[in-house]
Chains A and B, each alone.
Chain A
């Protein structure tokens, strides 16, 4: 089932998997923070950090390929930083035709540093998500004093994400089935297509709202009184499995 594509957790029994999530989450944050503090061109620090990440990847057993693939998500945003190549004063390397923009060496190093820092950070986040089941992450968040309401709402988000993603897929498929043009180049203007998409969103909203009313009824029937109550938690660690879907 495609549903598992949305689940970042890759079950395992490694030391990384079993590490207390209340330690893993702050550690990851600290790592990203320290990377952010590294000045431009601290190649040694960058290299050591990457080494550390590779070590953790190896220990966790989730596979370097997986980590690299998921980390590529951050790359498109690097375009936003591209302009820094021209804007940083330094030794001019090359002037673009037209004479307006000059690439400087400092600019290049700065751009590279930004990209590297970003890539290091995203790998850390990927490792965290891959080795920690989501309910454990919620628990770690709670330990970091995230308000209960937010934690509870996040729990619902996670629980119903798959249910609603399924419904969204069904709506998309229905639209596909009704679009005459092969190869995805639908007819009608962009405006029309946007409104159809809007109608799909609207119907998904209504279904979600009505579901939330039924859930609320089920909660009331089991004694819900509006207060969010959370038990002292036991981590899922390596025992949570994907199971047969």
Chain B
């Protein structure tokens, strides 16, 4: 069915204004700005002079690619987010910048996503999604070695995981804002996107297969450039997979699951106690305080592990490039 009225992107993940509390919005802006800053610095090193026209046109590509829908069942259609594909083809940092502009234009011109809460949308779709995807992709390629399936399976998994995690972050933000109880939002969002993610994974796989067949240099070139970072990204990817497994009980609304997760992540709690004070501790009606605290621990722990991992990767790469 041809679209005459253009509705870009999937409606579920672009949070409009009014749905997040200001404190959550501010925190997300801080994460977004940090991510963008890091991306600006890193992408400049990797792409150099070429970065602006390349990222610009590919931002337009992602926008246009999101118009390529496919019917899933009856009237619903699957949509494409593009975070993983962008990261695999452009590298994570250029992908972040590219996706940031896509999110911004979608919000400014089409009101797909709010303006004040843009920090959250950027964090979810332009920071978390591509970084996670890239890590997973490199991890799978590492495991696969030279085998052909590495790129395709890696692409699929990277896309799927990135969509699920981005939507998880979205649910967390809604939960903390008091817009939607996290016990409901998280399983709902993660569940729905676990399905949508399959579509994302297949499209990413299809796209990768075609690009590898017609212009393999476009995929490999990225790999060669990134080889400086080498194993670090693979470790990040595997680490994230581990974290995801640990967190999966969170998706279940049963208190049991929450406690199990809290235990599993207990070692993180012990090591990093400080960040929890930063997170506002407010009474959330409908869910007991204790459970909220454990969710806070789990989620904050994940994000901290992730941030630390990325930070280490960046440091290692800087050390590598500094070596003569």
Q: Which residue numbers of A lie inside 8 Å of B, CB to CB? A: 2, 5-6, 8, 28-29, 32-33, 35-37, 70-71, 73-74, 76-77, 80-81, 83-84, 86-89, 114-122, 125-126, 128-129, 134, 137, 147, 149-150, 152-161, 163-165, 167-169, 171-173, 176, 184-186, 190-191, 193-206, 208-209, 211-212, 215-216, 219, 224-226, 228
Contact B116 A36 (CB under 8 A): yes
Report the minimal beta-carbon distance from B94 to chain A, rounded to whole angstroms.
10
User: B140-148, B205-213, B310-318: which lies at the A interface?
Assistant: B205-213
Name the A residues within 8 Å of B25 (CB-CB): 36
Report the minimal beta-carbon distance from B85 to chain A, rounded to whole angstroms.
7
Contact A118 B16 (CB under 8 A): yes
Name the B residues within 8 Å of A202 (CB-CB): 206-211, 214
Contact B110 A32 (CB under 8 A): no
User: B72-80, B237-245, B266-274, B293-301: which lies at the A interface?
Assistant: B72-80
Contact A208 B58 (CB under 8 A): yes
Contact B179 A212 (CB under 8 A): no
Name the B residues within 8 Å of A176 (CB-CB): 2
Name the B residues within 8 Å of A70 (CB-CB): 111
Contact A216 B53 (CB under 8 A): yes
Please report the C-alpha to C-alpha distance between residue A208 and residue B89 in the assembled complex, in whole angstroms.
12
Per a CB cutoff under 8 Å, which of A28, A173, A205 touches B61? A205
Please report the C-alpha to C-alpha distance between residue A206 and residue B207 in the assembled complex, in whole angstroms.
10
Interface on chain A toward B: helix, strand, loop, or mixed SS? helix
Contact B49 A198 (CB under 8 A): no
Is there a chain A Cβ closer than 8 Å to B322's Cβ? no
16 intermolecular pairs with C-beta atoms under 8 Å apart: A73-B112, A115-B18, A122-B16, A150-B100, A161-B64, A165-B67, A194-B70, A196-B70, A197-B69, A197-B203, A202-B211, A205-B61, A209-B58, A212-B53, A216-B54, A225-B49
Contact A149 B214 (CB under 8 A): no
Report the minimal beta-carbon distance from A193 to chain B, rounded to whole angstroms.
5
Contact A153 B40 (CB under 8 A): no
Please report the C-alpha to C-alpha distance between residue A116 and residue B105 in the assembled complex, in whole angstroms.
24
Report the minimal beta-carbon distance from B127 to chain A, rounded to whole angstroms.
14
Please report the C-alpha to C-alpha distance between residue A122 and residue B1 in the assembled complex, in whole angstroms.
28
Report the minimal beta-carbon distance from A243 to chain B, rounded to whole angstroms.
19
Is there a chain A Cβ closer than 8 Å to B169's Cβ? no
Name the A residues within 8 Å of B207 (CB-CB): 198-199, 201-202, 205
Q: Specify the chain B residue showing the minimal Cβ separation from A7.
A: B109
Contact B19 A77 (CB under 8 A): yes
Report the minimal beta-carbon distance from B47 to chain A, rounded to whole angstroms.
10
Report the minimal beta-carbon distance from B182 to chain A, rounded to whole angstroms.
10
Per a CB cutoff under 8 Å, which of B15, B57, B97, B202 touches A194? B202
Known contacts A89-B286, A125-B107, A215-B57; 5 additional CB pairs below 8 A are: A122-B111, A129-B110, A149-B52, A153-B55, A165-B6
Our count of residue pairs bridging A and B at CB distance below 8 angstroms stands at 289
Question: Which B residues, 189 to 218, have Cβ-Cβ distances below 8 Å to chain A?
Answer: 198-199, 202-211, 214-215, 218
Contact B206 A195 (CB under 8 A): yes
Name the A residues within 8 Å of B67 (CB-CB): 165, 168-169, 172
Contact A201 B105 (CB under 8 A): no
With A33-B116, A36-B22 as contacts: A157 and B60 at CB distance below 8 Å = yes
Name the B residues within 8 Å of A32 (CB-CB): 17, 114-116
Is there a chain A Cβ closer than 8 Å to B5's Cβ? yes
Name the A residues within 8 Å of B5 (CB-CB): 5
Q: Specify the chain B residue showing the minimal Cβ separation from A119.
A: B18
Report the minimal beta-carbon distance from A157 to chain B, rounded to whole angstroms.
4
Name the B residues within 8 Å of A199 (CB-CB): 206-207, 209-210
Report the minimal beta-carbon distance from B96 to chain A, rounded to whole angstroms.
11
Please report the C-alpha to C-alpha distance between residue A151 and residue B39 in the assembled complex, in whole angstroms.
15
